[in-house]
Structure 1
Amino acid sequence: MTDAPSTSLPLLAAQLGVWVAQQLEPESLVFHVSQFADIAGPVDADVFERALGRVLVEAEALRVRVVERGGEVRQELVSGFDWSLIRVDVSGADDPEDGARAWMREEMRRPFDLAGGGRLFTWALLKLSDERFFWYQRCHHIVLDGYSCSLVARRVAEVYTALVGGVPCPQVSFRPLGRLVEQDRDYRDSPQHERDRAHWSAQPLTEVEPLLLSGRSAPAADFPLRQSAYLDKGAVDAVCAAAGLGPAGWTGAVLALSSAYFARLGGRDTVTVELPVTSRVTAVHRSTPGMLSNILPLTVPVPPGATITDVLAHVSASVRHLLLRQRYRQEDLHAGLGHAGGQYAFGPMVNILSFDHRLDFAGHPASAHPLTNGPVPDLALTIAPDTHPDRLRVDLHANPALYTHDDLTNHLTRLQHFARNLAIDPEQTIARVELMDSAERAQVLEEWNDTGRDLPGGTLPALFEEQVARTPDAVAVVFEGEELSYREVNEQANQLARLLIEQGAGPERFVAVALPRCAELVVALLAVLKTGAAYVPIDPDYPADRIAYILNDANPMCVITLGSNGVEAQPGTARILLDDPATRRALHA
């Protein structure tokens, strides 16, 4: 790479968001974009490298290095690169495709030196046979987004085709990167930016918890899990027709279907999904590679009684309004809502890729296959046209800390079943559409409920004492470094049971147990059962009036608690304090 930059530019707002996120997680690989083109035909590697070199000169975003000087982060456009195409031949492998995919997986683990000003892209040509090649592309998200990768790929195919045919290359439509920077600055200084800020600030996005179908959250992993399937295009077209739309309305239909599916699965009347948008609203935006993509929340009502055509009508109107305000940055939106730095998910992501991913290299067709496209905190659903006209491709990415491959397979199977059922009768209420197919329904209703087991007779205290006889010194309870053997638990429970019996505990009586999670809690519950009484569990962190209500309603003959809890018994009700020295001596006598 040459050391003399010809141009220095500030970062785009989207680039700055990626820069900050990468600084928060400097070792993370989630801010990489990678894909490959599967070329069905021979490729002249030398000509292909010439085509790439020409496009590298044309696409200024690929020739930047990011530098930080004097507290300011900028991008410097470098006039040239010490660059060459990586060539990999796996045609001799037993399974060339598996070998190619293994090579790509390993290459994706190499971090880009973002802070060191290094090259921020990798291109490789993998030969699987004389008639099949993979063109592998990876870059840091700070230089290109998914739309830009498509722009670059189409231009490479165009230039390669011209070079092979020996004809002049069509004129490039790429504009200078500085034009993107100018338009980005103009927008952020404009009244439109303030109107967009007011719009997003008025959205009730903090009133509902994000829909996390796993029930928990976790930081995004470097490499999400991935499963793929297909939706029947005919089923999607049937939904479009019922809503009075032609086949071109498939983008809104799959967004409505996905949103309705997530709402049903989460048991919600309203669901918020994350919608990736290009943020490209001008001719310069649409023709210039760079990082502009954005992710914004789309709230979709799915009330009781709603049909898929109702949801589609709402989605179509809402998306139109959202696209008018798509340039307002997600980072600004999160900051306005008080979300801390890092990755925050409003809900599952639904990414609709409506632009054409088909390529042609000198008469040989190629299909694009995305590998990674930024962070996946939870679930990300990507839907795009397939090379087969009768179906849509569905890629489901998931955080491996939250989901398994089986989870992804089940989601995709349910979504296919859900779409087919709605296509049969688009006017049926969504709430009545069966989510499970016959196999999953049998598993849930029959296999999982086949819980018949031979159970031992006797009471719980008797069974516990049998275990004490078998393994008296085995560890029974562990809490914050404290361990109690079966013998110790049994002896302490027996002593506490005697104290309770002295207070009048026995069958048909209640004993309140107001203890935090601790080893003594296990002892206390067992002791109550040994007396023949029933225990009333009380969380000592409940409000005082809530505790008083429970005690008044249950009318226990005794309350087991700690003096430090501040739980008071009703007048005339005994109270045993486990942290009282006298009680401790009695339990350990």
Structure 2
Amino acid sequence: MKQTSLEAVLPLSPLQEGMLFHALYDEDGVDVYNMQAALELTGELSAKRLLLALDALLERHPNLRAGFLRRRSGEPIQAIPRSVETPWTEIDLSHLDGEQQRARLGELLTEDRLRRFTMATGPLVRFTLVRLAEDRHVLVFTNHHILLDGWSLPIVFRELFQLYVREGDASTLPPVVPYSSYLEWLGRQDRAEAENAWCTELAGLDGPTLVAPAVSDTADGLLHRVALELPEQLTAALTQAARRRGLTTNTVVQGAWALLLSLLTDRQDVVFGATVAGRSPELSGVERMVGLLINTVPVRVRLDLGESLGALLTRVQEEQSALLPYQHLGLADIRKATGGGELFDTSVVFENYPIDPATARSAIPGLGISLLDDGITDTPEGAHYPLSLAVFPGDRMRLELVYRADAFDRETVDGLTARLRRLLETFVDAPDTLVGRVDWLTPTERAALVDAAHGPVRSLPDATLPELFEDQVRRTPDAVALAFRDERLTFAELNERANRVARLLVEHGAGPERHVALALPRTAESVVAILAILKSGAVHVPIDPEYPADRVSQVFAQTRPVLALTTRVLSADWPDEGPVRILLDETDALPGRDGSDLTDADRSGALCPENLAYVIHTSGSTGRPKGVAVSHRSLANMFHSHEAGFFTPEAEAAGGRPLRVALTNTLVFDASWTELLAMVAGHELHLVDDEVRRDADALVRYCSEHAIDLVDTTPGFARQLMSAGLLDTDGPRLRTLALGGEAVGEAMWRELGAVPGLSVYNLYGPAECTVDAMLARVGDAETPVIGRAAANTCVYVLDGGLRPVPVGV
């Protein structure tokens, strides 16, 4: 383009700059800012007259001829040539029958919509006239969004129809309000004042609101659309309910969107993008201006679960009204002023229909004009976010959710659309509903969630853990129960030793609901002691030998143990006011003591399933130890659940023999019960010493030398074990890997799922729910999941208001 051919060189509006960036960022991908409007024309039509009208339209509005490029300095400009040739194509489909014609028309529309413009060469608009029959045509108007906003389209089409009637004569039309006057107005605004306003509005925000954080906003993702048209009665009721409270329907929809984002992100302080008209009343004739005046700005909504819907929406409208004078500032400038970080990845826009039906009926005598049937093509446009909402007002409000196929599936978006409607209905029917009491679920969904929440229901015997262990002793007395270094204890030997210690504890006051602290070196004796405490009926309180004296004092203060089973060295720094200590390294009271199983007659009271089995301490949210108490019934339920869904299937896969299970967790960590219960189920427990369990190479060697079948560890340490050769095929190889304590990443999930002959379990559950409340087999799902509830357990996913979260959220 030669300089002499230019009529003007203009700056860009903030949104034009953003659109130009996205258009130039990936010049080979789909340009989501290609806009398309297809008008169905019924009656006698002159293609020649229509082309004259289009020529006059481009001559009348210089900014419709613009090309967009950057100077050598990097500054973006729009260069407007004095004249252009109107991009015009005629296509005849009248020879095709109905279905063939409709299909081919859909293909043409899609091809035209996806064909990119060359941004530097104007005009960024093209027109196609498709002949369907002698008296039926479709006019396809395709433009880059950088030229026009939704407000402008009805103006453009109204003038086009007038120019058609006047055969291209624009002399009787009102003078054009030039787009350049808007750009000049922008340049006069107080930028510093606007930046301060947005900094105040976004102060204290603790991060962006992202519904698809793993998806890049510049990646080439396919767009899809789900549309919902509200019934006329609901649309009218929504409008009336808003008016009664002095609200706009825009505010109501924005509030509903904020609530939906809160559900999706579990945040009470959400931000999304909103498209604002940008047509300041300071600009004379701005309502008749053709161009891109809209802007995208952040909308921040702070949710208070104790506030009513009506009060929330009133507050949102007041807050947004206060920002009206500053909505001209570009999003990139807002982000820069407030720290430069990402703010949101969803947007809401209220759209205008390209033509007004009443105007269209009388625009051209003898010619029917209407929008082409929306179902003829599904080519969403105008958004690069993973999820966007477009709202079309009217007698039947239309909601369109446009989504990226690499971020959402159709079923999820259908659910979001239904929930959006439910929110609008709630505002109409019960505007005083508290935000924290808004019900997301239909009765059918609620029933399905309750059903899915239940794990297998099993009728279990009333048994304590000592009874379960003693049953196994009677079944396999001579099988190896416990291995530590070179020491091997059969079930009978382990049981007898535990019984002797249990009787010693009873003599010193241990019994049901009485706590006994345990702090021993990691040896076979530590497992003997755990069983002994439970056999005495007492509550096991594990104390890590590495705990500092302050933490030991805190545990003692919470649990008030009657006894502590320990050694002199490990208890040397304990507080003097603690429990009575039985020093196993110095006592000579065990030899010759009765090694038979204890009964309630031997204990200080009856041992029942409801009695506590252990109190295990976590750091808690404050960093101070928090005791979690677990009963024998809960522990026995976990035993039966794991036996049926974990231990037995793996043993059967190994030929029916007992598994060799490595206990690598610390004994004060509740996850150690997974392996301890495997021993109770008759499997061979290998208590791995501290030096080996902390060294990935040494642990891999141990597993190979002892033909270990099952290891339970965290995903992070599992990765180290894999790097050290845990899954190599030379020699005996692990059969089962159980992961817990932290999330399993997608890469590891896929990698482990592809290892032949390896069973991998993802175990999940808080200490309060007895270690493993849920279990999933890696390989049964393509992406990481925590599985289904354990036997006789219900698991619900709740939001911040303790409401069940819908499926797909």
Fold shared, TM-score > 0.5 on shorter chain: yes
The structural deviation recorded for 1:102 is: 1.7
User: Whose Rg is larger?
Assistant: 2
| Aligned counterparts of 2:251 and 2:737: Cα–Cα separation in 1 | 61
Cα 1:520–1:58 change in 2 (3 A) is: same
Amino acid across the alignment from 2:11: L
Aligned twin of 1:515: 717
The structural deviation recorded for 1:112 is: 1.4
Aligned twin of 2:414: 409
Alignment of 1:104-123 (within 5 A): 104-115=109-120, 117-123=121-127
| Aligned counterparts of 1:26 and 1:273: Cα–Cα separation in 2 | 27
| Aligned counterparts of 2:222 and 2:175: Cα–Cα separation in 1 | 34
Alignment of 1:418-457 (within 5 A): 418-446=423-451
Cα 1:168–1:80 change in 2 (3 A) is: closer
Amino acid across the alignment from 1:183: W
Q: Write out per-residue CA displacement over residues 319-353 of structure 1, whole angstroms, 9 at most, x where no aligned residue.
A: 2123221111112112224447xxx5514211123
Aligned twin of 1:399: 404
Cα 1:161–1:311 change in 2 (3 A) is: farther
The structural deviation recorded for 1:8 is: 2.8
Residues 6, 79 of structure 2: 8 Å contact kept: yes
The structural deviation recorded for 1:312 is: 1.7
SS at match of 1:207: coil
Cα 1:291–1:310 change in 2 (3 A) is: same
Aligned twin of 1:548: none
Aligned twin of 1:153: 157
Cα 1:466–1:13 change in 2 (3 A) is: farther
Unaligned runs of 5+ in 1: 469-491, 540-589
| Aligned counterparts of 2:739 and 2:354: Cα–Cα separation in 1 | 66
Q: Write out per-residue CA displacement over residues 267-297 of structure 1, whole angstroms, 9 at most, x where no aligned residue.
A: 3323212111122212354333223321101
SS at match of 1:38: strand
Share of identical aligned residues, percent? 18
1:212 to 180, 202, 210: 210
SS at match of 2:349: strand
Whether 1:462 and 2:651 are equivalent positions in the alignment is yes
Cα 1:297–1:132 change in 2 (3 A) is: farther
| Aligned counterparts of 2:260 and 2:308: Cα–Cα separation in 1 | 12
Residues 275, 296 of structure 1: 8 Å contact kept: yes
SS at match of 2:141: strand
Aligned twin of 1:259: 258
| Aligned counterparts of 2:138 and 2:126: Cα–Cα separation in 1 | 13
Amino acid across the alignment from 1:106: E
Aligned twin of 2:81: 78
Cα 1:258–1:226 change in 2 (3 A) is: same
Amino acid across the alignment from 1:79: R
Cα 1:238–1:267 change in 2 (3 A) is: farther
Amino acid across the alignment from 2:251: G
1:200 to 198, 201, 215: 198
Q: Write out per-residue CA displacement over residues 412-455 of structure 1, whole angstroms, 9 at most, x where no aligned residue.
A: 12222332233222222233232233444454444686989997
Cα 1:151–1:246 change in 2 (3 A) is: farther
Q: Write out per-residue CA displacement over residues 83-128 of structure 1, whole angstroms, 9 at most, x where no aligned residue.
A: 352223334244234332221111222221124x353211122334
Alignment of 1:298-377 (within 5 A): 298-339=299-340, 344=342, 346-353=344-351, 357-359=355-357, 360=360, 361-362=363-364, 364-367=368-371, 372-377=380-385
Aligned length: 498
Aligned twin of 1:551: none
Residues 310, 427 of structure 2: 8 Å contact kept: no
Aligned twin of 2:63: 61
Aligned twin of 1:558: none
| Aligned counterparts of 1:535 and 1:348: Cα–Cα separation in 2 | 35
Cα 1:351–1:67 change in 2 (3 A) is: closer
Larger displacement relative to structure 2 (233-242 or 105-114): 233-242
Cα 1:270–1:66 change in 2 (3 A) is: closer
Q: Which runs of 4+ in 1 moved over 6 A?
A: 447-457, 498-501, 509-514, 521-526, 529-536
Amino acid across the alignment from 2:151: Y
The structural deviation recorded for 1:298 is: 0.7
| Aligned counterparts of 1:86 and 1:45: Cα–Cα separation in 2 | 10
Residues 30, 375 of structure 1: 8 Å contact kept: no
| Aligned counterparts of 1:64 and 1:532: Cα–Cα separation in 2 | 66
SS at match of 2:408: coil
The structural deviation recorded for 1:383 is: 0.7
Residues 260, 311 of structure 1: 8 Å contact kept: no
The structural deviation recorded for 1:379 is: 0.9
Unaligned runs of 5+ in 2: 459-640, 658-697, 744-809
TM-score by length of 1: 0.72
SS at match of 1:174: coil
Residues 308, 427 of structure 1: 8 Å contact kept: yes
Cα 1:292–1:124 change in 2 (3 A) is: same
Aligned twin of 2:227: 228
| Aligned counterparts of 1:420 and 1:322: Cα–Cα separation in 2 | 28
SS at match of 2:248: helix
Aligned twin of 1:296: 297
Whether 1:383 and 2:391 are equivalent positions in the alignment is yes
Cα 1:424–1:54 change in 2 (3 A) is: same
The structural deviation recorded for 1:393 is: 0.8
| Aligned counterparts of 1:381 and 1:513: Cα–Cα separation in 2 | 39
The structural deviation recorded for 1:206 is: 6.9
Aligned twin of 2:93: 90
What is the RMSD computed on CA atoms of the aligned residues? 4.4
Residues 33, 145 of structure 1: 8 Å contact kept: no
